[in-house]
Structure 1
Amino acid sequence: MGRLTKFGEDRAMAVQVIANDDQYILNHCTRFLTRRNTDARHNFGQYDPSDPRARICEAWRFPIIDSHAETDGADGGDDGGNYAFNRVTFVYRAGEPGSSGVAGAGGTPGQVGVIGTFAKLYEPIALSPVRFLGEPTGYFAVALRVPKGQAYRYKFMVDGKAMLDPVNPQQIREPNGHTWSRFFTHLCTQPLSFESWELAILERLVDHIMPFRTKDGQDFLQFFYNQLDAQQKKRQYLFSYRLDQSVGIVNFMDNLVAREERHHLIDYKICLELIADIVRQRATDIEPAKAPKEIFIGLYGEMASGQVAGWDTSRYNDPTYFLQMLRRHAFTGAFSHPKYGGNASALGWRYLADRFRNAGGETLFDWERAIEQPLGTNADYHG
């Protein structure tokens, strides 16, 4: 890769353009965007029937969000400064007659750029043509060094005309009525999919699934945090949040249904509303999220049996299916890589490492050897 080029120096966190690697870009986009199927085989309820994204395999992968391991002396060098950034690659495909391209009807644009809240909104950043064996491919791309832990909005500028990303399904409507495409970087803790009351209900449900609210679990979290010195706390908790939020599982779920499992967002929206109504019927004098633990324990058991008193099956037929999905997402979030929004500061892994030891007292789950610095100790892996 080439040297990073400064862009937007007066911004607090100046975005930088990374030299394009055409092979990297083609490897990450062609298997999803060059398919010639015309049927909506990738629509699982998340798209309108006429949405062209329904023809695209895993459209949620765009823009490409990747780790940024390249060192640059002015921006961190060997001290891990680049760990706080992602490499974000924007890809635009010019439409081709008879292809599955969604960018337009044939022809190649003269200029393609991108504007977004990661840089100056009034200065488009140019996308360069992507080539294969010296020949144009119809793709345009640019890679940027963007801070982690945030959500951003953006649009493409094609021959001077602003347009939404025709591939990325994430969109956000501003209070002024304008719609933008959206993406978020690793370790994002900004609510993306759920309202505050939905997050609170989810937290109560997750509490019953995971061990971190038990006395042993809470003792472990408290012991782990107390044993860190001030410098370790500053490093380990740079991107984390409240430890009483089941090590970030709900945040992981919020991120998950915003991107990879967007087709399940409607399941959550319907079921959380049904659960809130049921809890409200059983605890009439208190907000559902603050209802006694016994009510959620009882509700959890009823959902497992498939027989929930007061559940409107005309809106969602199978409460057991939702519970199984909830459990899958909760366990995945607790023990996945922290970059996906859960397992805050690797507390899920630390819990396993502390719990499972051999006769000599050594951990049987030495996760740090496999994980990138500064979270782990592996110097070869970059996340």
Structure 2
Amino acid sequence: MAIEILQTDDQYVLNHCTKFLARDNTDPRHNFGQLSDDDPRSRIAEPWRFPIIDSYSDGNDFVKSYSSNVVTFVYQQPGATPPKNVAVIGTFANLYEPIPLKPVNFVGEPTGYYALSIIVPKGQFHTYKFIVDGQAIIDPVNPQRTQLDNGQLWSRFFTQLCTEPLNFEDWEFDIVARLVDHILPFRTKEGENFLNRYYNFLGKQDKQVQYAYAYRLDESVGAANFIDNILAREENHHLIDYKICLGQISRILRQRNPYVEPKDVSKELYIDLYNEMATNKVNGWNYQQYQEPLFFLQLLRRHTFTGAFSHPKYGGNVGGTGWAYLSERYTDKSGKTLFDWRRAIEAPLGLNSDYRG
């Protein structure tokens, strides 16, 4: 598999990594329960930012460039003695062909960082390892790790617009999607009418290559997919909340209707459960296992609304659907929208020629 290496300067790498890696603290100040205190990542600010996933533009064809990301691997020298060779292997290239990282300097002096930038298509996830002086190791910074069928542990990353399940099992994703449907306005008659009109519009525009990655994930504009993505990265410390509470919700729904899978129970059962969670009093809830169902509901609501109305590159708001809904709903007396989102967003999704995503 051919891989395209992008030549980035040292300043680019330092701008993206020193804020998070260049700290001497030894206390686990960044551990929110997702790590053990003796894990080196517990002292690193926002380790989920690595490898760096950035927008890509070749400077010419912005529509074509929109389909790719720049992925920058950064290895930090752990001790005083620098390694002789640092490389990376992964599923984004020929797996057992190491690609060397180059030393990163600042005003001509070594920084202890090694970096490599490559171009990877959006919508993908990959596993990788560093090869340091001939020894294969997982990325000591990146929290994303996955165990393969052979039992080996590898580091993992995913590019923007990824729709592959990263954390949720199928039944968990189905329950999240049902809960999200209840939170967002797209299950109302008005909302469904809007979605049908807008997705049909996107389908026509897609043929003209104006709306890359405009696809219909679910009736709630991909918010469930967004939640799965952020639980793999910036909100990983809340993954345990979802795992525990989705298990409880599944059990309660089975108790209330043992003849139907939780994803298929009636809308009324989900409404009842939602309302009970809002009062923090859920019949059948195991409070010893998780004390605050209301806290989980508030967490889910925050993630849902963020996903529905944030930039589509984060996995939700598919094709700008959430923004288009706001644009249609909020207008002045003359009918002109008060939320002209396309003026602020990069092509091909929007009309802004300055912003590149």
Deviation at 1:362, TM superposition (A): 1.0
Higher relative contact order (CA 8 A, sep 6+): 2
* 1:177 equivalent in alignment to 2:166: no
* 1:86 equivalent in alignment to 2:76: no
2:30 corresponding residue in structure 1:
42
Deviation at 1:238, TM superposition (A): 4.1
2:167 corresponding residue in structure 1:
193
Superposed counterparts of 1:309-348, under 5 Å: 309-348=283-322
State whether residues 241 and 248 of structure 1, in contact with CA within 8 Å, keep that contact through their aligned partners in structure 2: no
3-state SS, counterpart of residue 137 of structure 1: strand
Out of 54, 64, 70, the residue aligned to residue 58 of structure 2 is 70
The structure-2 alpha-carbon separation of the partners of 1:236 and 1:320, relative to structure 1 and needing over 3 Å to count, comes to farther
Query: What letter corresponds to residue 73 of structure 2 in structure 1?
Result: F
2:271 corresponding residue in structure 1:
297
3-state SS, counterpart of residue 199 of structure 1: helix
1:31 corresponding residue in structure 2:
19
3-state SS, counterpart of residue 141 of structure 1: strand
Deviation at 1:226, TM superposition (A): 2.6
3-state SS, counterpart of residue 350 of structure 1: helix
Superposed counterparts of 1:245-324, under 5 Å: 245-324=219-298
State whether residues 149 and 239 of structure 1, in contact with CA within 8 Å, keep that contact through their aligned partners in structure 2: no
1:367 corresponding residue in structure 2:
341
* 1:162 equivalent in alignment to 2:150: no
3-state SS, counterpart of residue 255 of structure 1: helix
Query: What letter corresponds to residue 201 of structure 1 in structure 2?
Result: I
**More off after superposition, 339-348 vs 39-48:** 39-48
State the TM-score, normalized to the length of structure 1. 0.90
State whether residues 20 and 141 of structure 1, in contact with CA within 8 Å, keep that contact through their aligned partners in structure 2: no
Query: What letter corresponds to residue 282 of structure 1 in structure 2?
Result: R
State whether residues 221 and 243 of structure 1, in contact with CA within 8 Å, keep that contact through their aligned partners in structure 2: no
Query: What letter corresponds to residue 16 of structure 1 in structure 2?
Result: E
Query: What letter corresponds to residue 91 of structure 2 in structure 1?
Result: T
Query: What letter corresponds to residue 94 of structure 1 in structure 2?
Result: Q
1:4 corresponding residue in structure 2:
none
3-state SS, counterpart of residue 114 of structure 1: strand
Write the distance in 2 (CA, Å) between the matches of 1:214 and 1:330: 17
Deviation at 1:20, TM superposition (A): 2.5
Q: Structure 1: state its 5+ residue gaps.
A: 1-10, 72-76, 97-105
Query: What letter corresponds to residue 81 of structure 1 in structure 2?
Result: K
Write the distance in 2 (CA, Å) between the matches of 1:118 and 1:62: 16
1:148 corresponding residue in structure 2:
122
State whether residues 113 and 126 of structure 1, in contact with CA within 8 Å, keep that contact through their aligned partners in structure 2: yes
State whether residues 206 and 212 of structure 2, in contact with CA within 8 Å, keep that contact through their aligned partners in structure 1: no
State the TM-score, normalized to the length of structure 2. 0.97
Write the distance in 2 (CA, Å) between the matches of 1:231 and 1:118: 30
1:127 corresponding residue in structure 2:
101
Write the distance in 1 (CA, Å) between the matches of 2:240 and 2:87: 33
State whether residues 166 and 232 of structure 2, in contact with CA within 8 Å, keep that contact through their aligned partners in structure 1: yes
State whether residues 91 and 140 of structure 1, in contact with CA within 8 Å, keep that contact through their aligned partners in structure 2: yes
Deviation at 1:50, TM superposition (A): 2.4
3-state SS, counterpart of residue 177 of structure 1: coil
3-state SS, counterpart of residue 221 of structure 2: helix
Query: What letter corresponds to residue 65 of structure 2 in structure 1?
Result: N
Write the distance in 2 (CA, Å) between the matches of 1:293 and 1:346: 27
Superposed counterparts of 1:6-21, under 5 Å: 11=1, 14-21=2-9
The structure-2 alpha-carbon separation of the partners of 1:229 and 1:27, relative to structure 1 and needing over 3 Å to count, comes to closer
